[in-house]
Structure 1
Amino acid sequence: MSDEQANQIRKGRHLETVSLIYNLLEVGVSLAAGFATGSSALISWGIDSIVESNSAAFMIWRLHGEEKGIGQRNVLKRKKIALSVLSVAFAIAVLFILYESISKVVSGETSSISWWGIGILMVSLVVNPILAWGKYRFGMETDSPSLKYDAIDTMICEYQTIVVLLGIGLVHWQGWWWADPVAALLIVPYVAWEAFHAGRDAWNVHPEDAAVGNDASA
């Protein structure tokens, strides 16, 4: 690995660290506001942010290994572990969001407004595109499909943020009580797809191939 490539990987790791810190902020504010106001959409968004935090943490672990030159076989082992953990985390998130949303639809419970929740959503509308651009840039410069994939994930979070904001707005400015749990349910297809996609990718990673010279892309 050249010094330039190692430097770019280090910058990518630092960006993932920023992403992790911000996602943890999202988790704290959105879950606190969601449980306080009974907003399924905010709670579901916060649960997804937990999964995104896990993703960032595992990317940091993996990039740190690449930066230290741990070898392709160990890089692939870390990739397989990271994808497997993410697949399980996404699957659990799907079940939780479905339970939370369907319960609110059945009960007809209306959430109250949270300006803290709206505030973190508005901040995310600005922050997520910046993080996605940085991840994609370093992914291109280091030829890392994982960083580019993580950039796409971050932009999908932008879609989720817009959906949740619309749901909260329709509840409080149009009186459509069902818009909040429906907004949460709209997140489910993405999370379910990510669970399947991560599980499939984990299954297709074979660290032993690196030992015989058949390195897979990391």
Structure 2
Amino acid sequence: MAVELSLGPGPTRRAVLARRVRWLVAATITYNVIEGIVATTAGTLASSGALVAFGLDSMIEVASAAAVAWQFAARDPQVIERREKTALRIIAISFFVLAAYVTADSVRTLLGSGEAEHSASGLVLAALSLAIMPGLSYAQRRAGRELGSATAVADSKQTLLCTYLSAVLLVGLALNSLLGWSWADPIVALVIAAVAVKEGRDAWRGDACCPRPHQRGRCHGE
């Protein structure tokens, strides 16, 4: 597909977008720290492996967002660009760690070593995350694409994956509470783990979907 050449956003617009990314990353980190503490506490009290895993996912998301925050802490556009590869590698590793943990926890659950138990606070937290995370992901992905930042786009995918995990947790806890289907959560979580591996490979190679500052066109999936 042909790509139209363009000068991209000017210095003023790029400064605005970089500031927007910093604010979105700060919001993501703040929310995920709170989410992680609540989820791991509720999971420990309810002996819920799914909730504890969700809390650890929040900490992984914090690591991913922190990498983007470090990159955009610089005000010089050239420094931001130089830091991009390192930040992408950190994000890729966070995807791999998430996939490994979710896979291990899901297999453990399927083998009967543990299962997601009823937790009212867990249901509320999952529903809240499901409402908040898509907006944060969309806003960061949009700003990242316009700015031409592969790291901002990759981190937005990490946030979107957290949304999927929120949905899995919510459905899994609900089905387990209502029908006793403890296997529902780990089965869907394994699918999400596979998606996380793919996104991690893309981030490692720098294949995040976004146009570079000097290009304008459509990227995959748009």
Q: Same fold (TM over 0.5)?
A: yes
Q: Counterpart in 2 of 1:11? A: 20
Aligned pairs, how many?
Answer: 201
In 2, Cα distance between equivalents of 1:46 and 1:94: 14
Q: Counterpart in 1 of 2:139? A: 134
Q: Counterpart in 2 of 1:58? A: 67
Q: Counterpart in 1 of 2:86? A: 81
Larger % of helix: which? 1
Q: Report the AA paired with residue 128 of structure 1.
A: M
3-state SS in 2 of match to 1:107: coil
Aligned residue among 180, 184, 195 for 1:190: 195
Aligned residue among 89, 97, 102 for 2:107: 102
Q: Which moved more, 1:101-110 or 1:161-170?
A: 101-110
Structure 1: unaligned runs, 5 residues or longer: 203-214
Q: Which moved more, 1:31-40 or 1:119-128?
A: 31-40
3-state SS in 2 of match to 1:129: helix
What is the aligned-residue identity percentage? 28
In 1, Cα distance between equivalents of 2:202 and 2:44: 30
Relative to the length of structure 1, the TM-score reads 0.78
Q: Residue 21 of structure 1: CA displacement?
A: 0.5
Relative to the length of structure 2, the TM-score reads 0.77
CA shift digits 1:106-150 (9 cap, x unpaired): 225343211221111111121112212321342355343433443
Structure 2: unaligned runs, 5 residues or longer: 1-9, 208-212, 216-222
Q: Report the AA paired with residue 69 of structure 1.
A: D
Q: Counterpart in 1 of 2:53? A: 44
Change (3 A) 1:216 1:40: farther
CA shift digits 1:59-78 (9 cap, x unpaired): 1111222xx1152xx43442
Q: Is the 8 A contact 1:37 1:114 kept in 2?
A: yes
